[in-house]
């Protein structure tokens, strides 16, 4: 029973390592991630969005709704810290 | 609580550094759509300049210039600006955050700049607000 945690952790780690062996190499041009949407962004983003920075085009235009969520998360984080730490004190 | 720093070297150095840091932060925000950078990075740089100021001059000096309540307003304003541009696109007949319908030159580029500014304001205000809350907590 004492070593159960160790066994569970070890087996999980081993499974994760086994799973990662099938991953494509870093920067492999034939990997699914490089073949699916990336070529379209690279070829069309300047014509479609008028900005030379491809990263911003994806971040702010193609996935603008996602970035709105990210901004809201940061806002919510600030509000959460405010609610927890700034209670019962007079604003000065 | 961070007390007022008495060292003249630190104070002078921070006073000289802060304008350049803020200028660089604004540059990173404004050029986010044409060079590496953007609202998140620029907002953090801008926020760190205010944190540097409060480290060198004490929290009261920074509070005298803008209150903690105004930081919350700024954080909401950034999200409002972002969502407002999205709603504006809907009102002008496009989809939500479809900048192509904005009535300006290069509408997509300008729309992106607008939301980057919104993100920058929110990130800056949130960072400084969290920092102030953490160091003034007793």
Sign of CA dihedral B83, B89, B91, B96: negative
pLDDT in 10s for each residue of chain A, 92 residues: 778 999 999 999 999 999 998 888 887 888 877 888 888 888 888 888 888 888 888 888 888 899 999 999 999 999 999 888 877 655 55
Domain interval for residue A72: 37-86
| Chain B interface residues (partner A, CB cutoff 8 A) | 32-36, 38-40, 63, 67-69, 72, 75-76, 78-79, 82-83, 86, 96-97, 99, 106, 108-109, 111-112, 115-116, 118-119, 122-123, 125-126, 129-130, 133-134, 137
Per-residue pLDDT at B102 = 85
- What are the residues whose beta carbons fall under 8 Å from the beta carbon of A47, sequence distance 6 or more? none
- Tell me the pLDDT band of B1, cut-offs 50, 70 and 90: low
Listed as own residue / partner, the contacts of B5-14 with beta carbons closer than 8 Å and 24 or more positions apart are: B5/B55, B5/B56, B5/B57, B5/B58, B10/B56, B11/B56, B11/B57, B13/B56, B14/B52, B14/B53, B14/B55, B14/B56, B14/B57
- The owner of tokens 């950078």 is B37
Residue to mutate among B126, B132, B136, with most A CBs inside 10 A, is: B126
Tell me, yes or no, whether A5 lies in a domain. Answer: no
A88 Rama sector, left if φ>0, alpha if ψ -120 to 50, beta otherwise: left
Find the distance separating the first CA and the last CA of chain A, reported in whole Å.
56
Rounded to two decimals, the pTM is 0.82
ipTM of the complex: 0.86
Distance CA A82, CA A90 (A): 13
- pLDDT for A26: 80
Closest CA to B81 of A46, A9, A71: A71
- Between CA B7 and CA B17, with CA B11 as vertex, the angle to 5 degrees is 145
- Cα–Cα distance for residue pair B30/B52, rounded to 1 Å: 22
pLDDT in the model for residue B5: 62
Pull the structure tokens for residue B87.
Answer: 């709603």
Q: Say how many domains are in chain A.
A: 1
Q: Given A60, A74, A82, which is nearest B122 (Cβ)? A: A74
**Is the pLDDT assigned to residue B2 strictly greater than 80?**
no
CA distance A67 to A25: 28
pLDDT of the residue at A89: 55
The pLDDT tens digits of the residues spanning B13-23 come to: 988 999 999 99
User: Residue A49: its chain B contacts at CB < 8 A?
Assistant: 108-109, 112
Mean pLDDT score of chain B: 87
CB contact under 8 A, B109 and A56: no
Q: What is the DSSP letter of A3?
A: T
Q: Which own/partner contact pairs does A28-31 have at CB distance under 8 Å and 24+ positions apart?
A: none
Give the pLDDT of residue A15: 95
Q: What pLDDT is attached to residue B4?
A: 63
Question: Which tens digit of pLDDT belongs to each residue from B53-91?
Answer: 888 888 888 888 778 788 899 999 999 999 999 999 999
Report yes or no: A82 at the B interface, CB cutoff 8 Å.
yes
């Amino acid at each position: 029973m004492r070593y159960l945690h160790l066994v569970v952790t070890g087996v999980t780690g081993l499974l994760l390592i086994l799973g990662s062996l099938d991953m494509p190499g870093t920067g492999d041009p034939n990997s699914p991630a490089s073949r699916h949407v990336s070529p379209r962004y690279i070829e069309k983003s300047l014509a479609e969005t008028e900005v030379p920075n491809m990263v911003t085009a994806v971040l702010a235009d193609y996935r603008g709704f996602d970035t709105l969520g990210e901004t809201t998360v940061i806002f919510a984080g600030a509000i959460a810290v405010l609610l927890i730490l700034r209670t019962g004190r007079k604003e000065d | 609580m961070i007390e007022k720093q008495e060292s003249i070297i630190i104070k002078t150095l921070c006073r000289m550094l802060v304008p350049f840091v803020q200028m660089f932060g604004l540059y990173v925000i404004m050029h986010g759509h044409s060079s590496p950078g953007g609202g998140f990075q620029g907002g953090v740089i801008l926020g760190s300049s205010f944190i540097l100021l409060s480290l060198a001059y004490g929290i009261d000096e920074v509070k005298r210039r803008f209150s903690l309540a105004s930081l919350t307003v700024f954080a909401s304003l950034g999200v409002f600006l972002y969502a407002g541009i999205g709603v504006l696109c809907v009102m002008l007949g496009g989809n939500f955050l479809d900048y192509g319908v904005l009535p300006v030159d290069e509408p997509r580029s300008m729309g992106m700049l607008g939301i980057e500014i919104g993100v920058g304001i929110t990130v800056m205000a949130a960072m400084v607000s969290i920092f102030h809350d953490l160091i003034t907590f007793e």
